[in-house]
Amino acid sequence: MSMSFIATSFLTVYLMFPAAVAIISQMHRGQQGRNRTTRKKNILMGFPHLLLLSVIFFISGTVTGAASPVEISVNTTSQSVEKGTEFSINISIDPVNNPISAAQFNLFFDGSLVNVKNVTEGDLFKKQGINTIFDPGTFSNSDGTLINVWGLIITPGANVTTKGTLATISLYAKNTGTSQLNLTNVIISDPNGTSVQVNRANSSIKVSYETIPPASIKNLRNASYAQYYINWTWTDPVDADLSKVMIYLDGRLRTNVSKGLKYYNATGLVPGTMHTISTKTVDIAGNTNKTWVNHSARTVPDPIPPASIRNLRNASYAQYYINWTWTDPVDTDLSKVMVYLNGRLKSNVSKGVKYYNTTGLIPGTTYTVSTKTVDIAGNTNSTWVNYSAKTMPDLIPPASIKYLKNTSYARYYINWTWTDPIDTDLSKVMMYLDGKFRTNVSRGIRYYNATGLITGTMYTLSTRTVDIAGNTNKTWINHSARTMP
């Protein structure tokens, strides 16, 4: 072999595969401090391998014939993968009984659909007792390229003739669609450093949405026993594409629990009550398992009622209402305050409101509010907390009615009508017929029909207004009318 051939070979490898040159050089480089003889030996040992690599790739431009072309292919376990999952492809070489000792390739793919994660050496050259060098190359997912992946046997005289995997490439399915997986710049060399004929078999991979939902969760159970919460735990299914577990409590969707969390803590519950959790699993493609997995559990009963309210008082002084205020007890499970007025239940005031305004009262009247507290478990404090207060007196009577008139002309009755005064505290209009009290007509009715009268007779209706405080207007409003003869 001429020196010009060797020099040209070295230059070719250095320019095309600097990483390979560096690795081989490092393998046989002497450490600082070794003697001259040792360094000379290392150089001599490294020379054949560097020469071999040089020869292999220098002669790569000259393809020699083989009994049958060596076959290199892109092998996928499936032609379709799910979006959002990782998968692997193998770059396989079948020497077809041809001895080979080195190989390289580039791979082109659609980077918008799939992305390379890593590249590892396969079993093609790693036979028993054989040493190799492997370079995983350089990938660019934005360009869709994986370039300069190569493997080389460095054990002198060794070669392989049986099928194997040169490299395994791990990828991520990014978006839906079909990506071509095309091999380029394929060089496979025999032990003499001669490139052999190669048949390439490219492939493709389809990224699609999965239609099969994940399995259901297992081992759903209550991991707690408390008054106000239930903590449910479970085991996620083994599906790699599991996204979340949908959580329903007593039939209502509460939340989605991400894969791996495997628990849900339901809080703010009522002691001594039964609750049912229902679950469905969903994968990253949105496929939902329609099978419900349910579990029911009861909270711990609470037999202790809350404390009573404090500082109950009248915060107003008005004629027609009393506004009572108080301080709630500190019990965290307080639900409400039952409010009674003069012994009759009027309202349930929720925790935190702390007041009750009684309206429509009579001026100058004493009223008593009585209270009991109740917690969320329904426990009622039997102790009454009471307070009495009087409304402001009302000394002003309402105005008189207006437009009193007879709207009928009949033999046995007279129908009088009028307009009420605008006083908001008007209670009633007192009716007198010919000086005798007949009835009280409530506010808003505005008519009185006197019946059983004598034909052809004159009658006089007299009225006075009275408010809800009992103040009576002393002014009479009268009207006289005759029945039909």
pLDDT at 48: 42
Angle at 282 between CA 112 and CA 177, to 5 degrees: 20
Q: In the chain, what are the domain boundaries?
A: 3-61, 66-208, 218-298, 310-390, 402-482
pLDDT, one tens digit per residue, over 299-335 is: 998 899 999 999 999 999 998 899 999 999 999 889 9
Q: How confident is the model at residue 128 (pLDDT cuts 50, 70, 90)?
A: confident
pLDDT at 35: 37
| Mean pLDDT of the 116-142 span | 94
pLDDT at 285: 80
pLDDT greater than 50 at residue 151: yes
pLDDT at 210: 67
Residue 76 vs residues 171, 187, 205: alpha-carbon distances, Å: 11, 21, 8
| Mean pLDDT of the 29-43 span | 35
pLDDT, one tens digit per residue, over 211-228 is: 789 999 999 999 999 999
Contact predicate 107/169, CB 8 Å: yes
Q: Look at residue 471 and give its three-state secondary structure.
A: coil
Q: How confident is the model at residue 8 (pLDDT cuts 50, 70, 90)?
A: very low
| Mean pLDDT of the 455-482 span | 96
pLDDT, one tens digit per residue, over 59-104 is: 344 455 556 899 999 999 888 888 888 999 999 999 999 999 999 9
pLDDT at 64: 54
| CA distance linking residue 53 with residue 20, whole number of Å | 8
pLDDT greater than 80 at residue 349: yes
Average pLDDT, the chain: 87
Shortest CA distance to 158 belongs to which of 185, 126, 119, 181? 126
Shortest CA distance to 107 belongs to which of 58, 195, 152, 170? 170
CATH 3.30.9.10 fits 66-208, yes or no: no
pLDDT at 78: 82
pLDDT at 67: 67
Q: Which residue shows structure tokens 């791979």? A: 107
pLDDT at 391: 93
| CA distance linking residue 383 with residue 224, whole number of Å | 33
Q: Which residue has the higher pLDDT, 302 or 359?
A: 359
Check residue 377 and give left, alpha or beta (phi > 0: left; psi -120 to 50: alpha): alpha
Q: How confident is the model at residue 270 (pLDDT cuts 50, 70, 90)?
A: confident
| Mean pLDDT of the 390-413 span | 95
* Class of the domain covering 310-390: mainly beta
| CA distance linking residue 190 with residue 65, whole number of Å | 11
pLDDT at 22: 39
Q: Which residue has the higher pLDDT, 261 or 319?
A: 261
Q: Which fold has domain 218-298?
A: Immunoglobulin-like (2.60.40)
Matching CATH topology for 66-208 and 310-390? yes
pLDDT at 377: 85
pLDDT greater than 90 at residue 207: no
| CA distance linking residue 228 with residue 301, whole number of Å | 9
| Mean pLDDT of the 238-246 span | 94
| Mean pLDDT of the 140-163 span | 95
| Mean pLDDT of the 129-157 span | 95
Percent of the chain with pLDDT over 90: 73
CATH architecture of 402-482: Sandwich (2.60)
| Mean pLDDT of the 138-149 span | 97
| Mean pLDDT of the 425-429 span | 94
| CA distance linking residue 270 with residue 298, whole number of Å | 9
pLDDT greater than 90 at residue 51: no
Q: Are strands 80-82 and 203-208 parallel, antiparallel or unpaired?
A: parallel
pLDDT greater than 80 at residue 55: no
